């Protein structure tokens, strides 16, 4: 049954023929907004009923909205419509009855929403799409325009043209490596945001001016989030004494690798700070951007890229008598792991020393898999990929262990390194919290002043919720 509130002979039909299209006013002209600075998606807009002369200066431009028995359509411009299912909109109501504004948890019982839920009517308001539901209480919901745009799924709009601000790099990063000053980080959140923004964009960052002590380095690590304790301890201060059953505790060279491939959930960040190196040489640090190398491999040999994206690699940490780590599932995870939704490369997992028996390869896969990792290794070790840097006491480095591989050259003499792991969720949570303040997105900016919206310091329309 159609709930026609108004019908406008629209020049386009966003929903099934005959859908009720909310007419701002019969014949309301569809005008090209010539004002400079109007975002492209809102260049063509229906103008709210022509205002009386004295109100002309306060024109409000709103999308056109339509609804039918199953969906609501929002016309951003004549060629760009989003369609939201009624059940989806009702489920995502964030009024105080449906959504706990402090805890940011759903109060609404999703399963009591009638399957045939539909609007009594929809109308475009300056603050967003208003829906009055045909429920006994005529429940009313408001959805901010920018939130609808960010969460549009038919079609997806938020990712269109979204350019990842990740900077892929090779050896030339040596000319201007991402760096922040310790004092800036310790002074406050702005410096911490700059540091973590470096890591988000480049996959690593140096921190200069760090007091060359384990205590100062531990305190710095904890600015990001609580340290992730493992069988190597919490904050580590290590040297080449095999204090732990791992080659990191020797003088051996370590090829480019990511840590914790034997964990189901490898740590997110790894912080290193060289405290001293006396009576010897070597121990130079190696950094390689796994995302950069993967992009090279994908161009050079897509088949090898696909094999590394498909074949799971088992791994173990078995050097400590009291622990024997393997990931779950034991077959492990592929070397290149992608976001199932965007298909974007999200994680590199690679440590050939910690790799276990490849007992699950199909016979036809064996030779092509070895060929693929041979090419992968060749790309990792190319002069164009490797960034060698000699750490000094006072300069720490933090590495995104899901993206950047690290290693070191062999060394002799007495070398003391300290550092810590930080969980990937702790890192991403801290960056998200800082971003709310230092780089709010269009949804946060456009809804910040709406009533009952920023509660307990957090905007209920945060796209992370």
Ligand X SMILES: C[N+](C)(C)CCCC[C@H](N)C(=O)O
Ligand Y SMILES: O=C(O)CCC(=O)C(=O)O
Which positions lie near ligand Y, rule CB under 6 A? 248, 254, 259, 272, 285, 406-408, 417
In terms of CB distance, is 406 or 430 closer to ligand X?
406
In terms of CB distance, is 206 or 238 closer to ligand X?
238
- 70 and 84 Cβ atoms separated by less than 8 Å: no
What is the distance between the alpha carbons of residues 347 and 352, in angstroms, rounded to a whole number? 16
In terms of CB distance, is 129 or 275 closer to ligand Y?
275
Residues 6 or more apart from 65 whose CB is under 8 A from it?
A: 21, 22, 72, 73, 74, 75, 122, 123, 124, 129
Sign of CA dihedral 430, 436, 442, 444: positive
Q: Select the binding partner of residue 426 from ligand X, ligand Y, none (C-beta < 5 to 8 A, by kind).
A: none
Sign of CA dihedral 330, 336, 337, 341: negative
In terms of CB distance, is 146 or 426 closer to ligand X?
426
Q: Select the binding partner of residue 71 from ligand X, ligand Y, none (C-beta < 5 to 8 A, by kind).
A: none
Question: Least Å distance between CB 402 and ligand Y?
Answer: 14
Question: Least Å distance between CB 275 and ligand Y?
Answer: 11
Question: Least Å distance between CB 260 and ligand X?
Answer: 5
Residues 6 or more apart from 370 whose CB is under 8 A from it?
A: none
What is the distance between the alpha carbons of residues 22 and 26, in angstroms, rounded to a whole number? 9
Q: Select the binding partner of residue 406 from ligand Y, ligand X, none (C-beta < 5 to 8 A, by kind).
A: ligand Y
Question: Least Å distance between CB 354 and ligand X?
Answer: 5
Question: Residue numbers of the site for ligand X (CB under 6 A)?
Answer: 232, 236, 238, 246, 248, 257, 259-260, 351, 354
Q: Select the binding partner of residue 86 from ligand Y, ligand X, none (C-beta < 5 to 8 A, by kind).
A: none
In terms of CB distance, is 123 or 377 closer to ligand X?
377
**Nearest to residue 177, comparing CAs of 157, 205, 197, 150?**
205
Q: Select the binding partner of residue 146 from ligand X, ligand Y, none (C-beta < 5 to 8 A, by kind).
A: none
Question: Least Å distance between CB 175 and ligand X?
Answer: 28
Question: Least Å distance between CB 421 and ligand Y?
Answer: 10
- 289 and 168 Cβ atoms separated by less than 8 Å: yes
What is the distance between the alpha carbons of residues 311 and 34, in angstroms, rounded to a whole number? 54
Q: What tokens does 30 get?
A: 């569809």
In terms of CB distance, is 200 or 246 closer to ligand X?
246
Q: What tokens does 371 get?
A: 């060929």
Q: What tokens does 288 get?
A: 């390689």
Q: Select the binding partner of residue 285 from ligand X, ligand Y, none (C-beta < 5 to 8 A, by kind).
A: ligand Y
């Amino acid at each position: 049954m159609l709930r026609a509130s108004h019908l406008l002979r629209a020049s386009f039909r966003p929903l099934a023929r005959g859908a009720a299209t909310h007419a701002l006013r019969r014949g309301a002209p569809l005008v090209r907004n010539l004002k400079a600075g109007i975002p492209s998606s809102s260049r063509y807009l229906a103008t709210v009923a022509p205002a009386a002369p004295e109100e002309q200066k306060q024109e409000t431009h709103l999308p056109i909205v339509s609804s039918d028995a199953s969906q609501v359509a929002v016309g951003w411009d004549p060629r760009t419509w989003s369609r939201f299912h009624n059940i989806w909109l009702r489920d995502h109501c964030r009024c105080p009855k449906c959504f706990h504004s402090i805890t940011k948890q759903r109060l609404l019982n999703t399963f009591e929403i009638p399957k045939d839920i539909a609007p009594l009517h929809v109308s475009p308001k300056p603050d967003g799409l208003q829906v009055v539901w045909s429920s006994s209480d005529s429940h009313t919901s408001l959805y901010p325009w920018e939130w609808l745009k960010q969460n549009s799924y038919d079609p997806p709009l938020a990712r269109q043209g979204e350019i990842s601000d990740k900077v892929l790099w090779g050896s030339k990063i040596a000319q201007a490596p991402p760096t922040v000053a310790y004092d800036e980080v310790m002074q406050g959140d702005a410096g911490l945001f700059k540091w973590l923004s470096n890591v988000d964009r480049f996959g690593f960052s140096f921190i200069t001016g760090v007091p060359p002590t384990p205590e100062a380095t531990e305190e710095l690590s904890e600015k990001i989030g609580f340290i992730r304790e493992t069988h190597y301890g919490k904050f580590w201060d290590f040297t080449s004494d095999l204090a732990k059953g791992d080659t990191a505790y020797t003088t051996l060279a370590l090829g480019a690798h990511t840590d914790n491939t034997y964990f189901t959930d490898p740590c997110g960040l790894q912080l290193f700070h060289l405290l001293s190196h006396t009576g010897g040489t070597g121990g130079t640090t190696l950094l390689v951007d796994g995302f950069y190398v993967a992009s090279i491999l994908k161009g050079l040999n897509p088949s090898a890229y696909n094999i590394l994206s498909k074949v799971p690699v088992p791994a173990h940490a078995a050097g400590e008598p009291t622990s024997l780590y393997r990931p779950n599932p034991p077959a492990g995870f592929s070397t290149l792991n992608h976001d199932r939704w965007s298909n974007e490369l999200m994680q590199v997992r690679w440590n050939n020393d910690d790799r276990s028996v490849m007992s699950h390869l199909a016979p036809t896969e064996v030779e092509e898999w070895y060929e693929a990792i041979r090419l992968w290794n060749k790309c990792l070790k190319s002069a164009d990929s490797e960034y060698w840097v000699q750490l000094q006491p006072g300069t720490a480095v933090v590495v995104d262990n899901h993206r950047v591989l690290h290693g070191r050259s062999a060394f002799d003499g007495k070398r003391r390194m300290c550092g810590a792991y930080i969980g990937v969720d702790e890192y991403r949570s801290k960056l998200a919290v800082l971003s709310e303040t230092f780089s709010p997105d269009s949804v946060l900016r456009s809804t910040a002043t709406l009533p009952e919206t920023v509660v307990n310091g957090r905007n209920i329309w945060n796209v992370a919720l």
